[in-house]
Structures are given as structure tokens and as C-alpha cells.
Structure 1
Amino acid sequence: MSTFTEGRIRQRAQRKTGNFRNATTVLKEEVAATKVKTSFDIFLSHSTSDAEIILGVKGVLEDYGKSVYVDWLEDPQLDRSNVTAASAEVIRLRMRQCKSLVYVHTANSGGSKWMPWELGYFDGFNGAVAILPVTKSREASFKGQEYLGIYPYIDEAPSKGSTVEEIWVNKGSTASRRWANWINDPRAFR
């Protein structure tokens, strides 16, 4: 098992953007082409500085059949420069519509004021929280800084005897569960 690399994620994003399109534009076009959703498999907690990475992560997760909520795509009316109690309530409502929260850890994550709040709220509400580290190179395991280390992290790998990749949820390098097994009882795997 190893972490997702920036190269892998950016390569997945470029499958959609080609050489001439902006990642933010492609994401907005995708949302405009779909019907309004009221439930999702994943709430994607991320830094808005990572548009190309988010396009790639969203694509990878969708390749595994997951529906993904990205706040500035699904709810573009929210003004990130003027956060109000009403906009925070929209985010709370959306989190309650999701089965899990995936915290996309990048070099920009530490600068986000919202990501720790989303993580704490969702952990208290549901408990199905996992970190998706996007690293410069493949790492055998991910510890995360400070409080992120208490949460499992996700990666992709084939199961023993298979060549088909699937999503795994990991506690350090000692224990792993398939996504489908973890999502049924996430608090038991901490």
C-alpha cells in the first residue's frame, strides 16, 4: 500500500482538462451537467488552492463509483470571502447528506481555516473520516501531522492475488480495510 502521488492525481485531472482547459472550469461544467444531488458518498474537505488536485481526486474517487461533494461546485452561491452563519449551515446540511468525509491532505491544507472545522464537525456527527494524502512520492504509510494522525488514511492497491486496484482505509502500516467494510463501521477502525 502507498499514498496517492501528485503526479498520479494531476495525470487523472489532465485526462479531463487536456492541454487547454482550466481544472476549475472543467469541474464547474461537470456540476452544471448533472442533476441536483441530495446525497453523496464523500464530502471532499480540501484547500481551494488545489483545484487541479481536487479535479484529479474527484475523478479517481468517481472511477471507484463514489459520488463526491465539492462545496464550491455544488453550492457556488456560497461566498468564501464572506462566511456567515447561513453559509456554515449550508455546509453542515451538506455534510449530513454525505456518508463520509475525505480530507485531502496537500501542502496547502495547513492554510485552510475550514478544513479543521469540517473534520471536527463530521467526526462528531458521523465518524466516517479518512485522510487522503497527496504526496510528492509514493510513501508506504502516512502518519499526518498532529491531530490528523488519529484518523485512518486511504490509498489504492490491489488485494492479495489480484491486479485490480481498490480503495483501502489504513491505520498506519499495521491494519487495512476495504472501503466497503470500513464505511459500515468506521469508528471501530481507529
Structure 2
Amino acid sequence: MATFTESRIRQRAQQKTGTLRKAATVLREEVAATKTKTSFDIFLSHSTSDAEIILGVKAVLEDYGKTVYVDWLEDPQLDRRNVTAASAEVIRARMRQCKSLVYVHTANSGGSKWMPWELGYFDGFNGAVAILPVTRNREATFEGQEYLGIYPYMDEAPSTGSTVEEIWVNKGSTASRRWGTWISDPRTFRKTA
């Protein structure tokens, strides 16, 4: 399986923004058009430092027919620099509206204080957690770091005998499931020691 590359994700983001608009602007416009959504396929856990990458990831996942919640776009009133019990409750409520959490792993992920909290809460609440590594090399495999290594990771590839790409959820290099199969029973598809 091949991982999502930074160049592919940025290219997809640029297709959405064109040459004059910023990624954050396009994301806000899209969210304004869909404010009535109360359920999502994916809660996108990410660093706010990755606006262009997040636009690209959101677009790629939507290309596969998924609905994606991005917290700082859907709920711009939240201040990540000033976490309160009320803001944490908004995030909890939003996570309960989502079928899965996708943790976008980039060079900026380690600096986020929210991402580990979102991951832990969603894992305990639902269990449908996958890591989406954005790598420099398409053929890179993702082993995870520290606690991230227990979760499966996502990539895109065609199934055997096909040229049509699909989203896959992988348990290391030993097993893969299509998104639809994984989401129906995610807890059984975890890495074991």
C-alpha cells in the first residue's frame, strides 16, 4: 500500500483554491455552505498549522464520498489557545456526531495539544480511529510513533486487478481492509503486541 504524499495533498488543495485564494478561505466557504450537517463520516484531528494540507486531505476524503468535520471551521468560536470546559464539551458533542476519527499525522502534529486529547476521547467513545500519515514518499509505510503505533493507518490504492483507487485501513504491512469493512467493526482491526 502507498501512503498519501504531501505533494499529492498539496496539489489537491491547490486544485480547490486556484492561484489567488488561501486554503483557510476555501475551507471556511465550504463550511458556510454546509452548516446544517449534524453527522459526519470523519472527525479530522489535525494541527491548525497545516491549513493547506487539511484542505487537501478534506478534498481527497470527499472525493471518496466521505463527509468531513473540521473543528475550527465548523465551530470557529472555539479558541484553541484558551481551552475551557465549554469548548471541550463542544468538541465532545461534535465527536459523537462522527463515525470515525482520522488523525492527520504531519511534521506539525507533535506540537498540537488537542490532537492527543481528541484521539483518546474518540478511542474510548467509539474506537473507530485511524491515522492518515502525510509522507514525502508515496511508497513509505507508516509504523506510527509511540501510542500512535497501536492504531491502523489509512492510505489509497487500487484493489488487486483494478486501477480504481480506494481508501484502505491497514494494520501494519500484514493486513488491509477497505474503509467500509473497517468502519463496521474497527476495534477488531488493531495492532496487537
> Which position in structure 2 is the counterpart of 1:189?
189
| 1:88 pairs with 2:70 | no
> Which position in structure 1 is the counterpart of 2:29?
29
> Per the alignment, in what secondary structure is the counterpart of residue 50 of structure 1?
helix
How well do the aligned residues superpose, as a CA RMSD in angstroms?
Answer: 0.7
Letter in 2 for 1:14: Q
Question: How many angstroms does 1:119 deviate by?
Answer: 0.3
| 1:13 pairs with 2:13 | yes
> Which position in structure 2 is the counterpart of 1:146?
146
Stretch moving more, 135-144 or 158-167 = 135-144
Q: Distance in 1 between matches of 2:182 and 2:109?
A: 24
Q: Percent identity?
A: 88
Question: How many angstroms does 1:140 deviate by?
Answer: 4.1
Letter in 2 for 1:113: K
What are the within-5 Å matches in structure 2 for residues 91-130 of structure 1?
91-130=91-130
| 1:75 pairs with 2:67 | no
Q: Distance in 2 between matches of 1:165 and 1:85?
A: 41
Question: How many angstroms does 1:37 deviate by?
Answer: 1.0
Letter in 2 for 1:108: N
Task: List structure 1 segments (4+ residues) > 6 angstroms apart after TM superposition.
Answer: none
TM-score, normalised with respect to structure 2: 0.97
Q: 1:78-127: CA deviations, max 9, x gaps?
A: 12222110000000000000000000000000000000000000000000
| Aligned residue-pair number | 190
Letter in 1 for 2:127: G
Q: Distance in 1 between matches of 2:151 and 2:122?
A: 12
> Per the alignment, in what secondary structure is the counterpart of residue 59 of structure 1?
helix
Structure 1: unaligned runs, 5 residues or longer: none
> Which position in structure 2 is the counterpart of 1:62?
62
Question: How many angstroms does 1:43 deviate by?
Answer: 0.2
Q: 1:16-56: CA deviations, max 9, x gaps?
A: 11111100001001111224211000000000000000000
Stretch moving more, 30-39 or 142-151 = 30-39
> Per the alignment, in what secondary structure is the counterpart of residue 127 of structure 2?
coil
Question: How many angstroms does 1:77 deviate by?
Answer: 1.1
> Which position in structure 2 is the counterpart of 1:135?
135
| Maintained 8 Å contact 1:140/1:173 | no
Q: Distance in 1 between matches of 2:140 and 2:50?
A: 23
Letter in 2 for 1:112: S
Q: 1:153-189: CA deviations, max 9, x gaps?
A: 0000000011000000001111000000000000011
Structure 2: unaligned runs, 5 residues or longer: none
> Which position in structure 2 is the counterpart of 1:158?
158
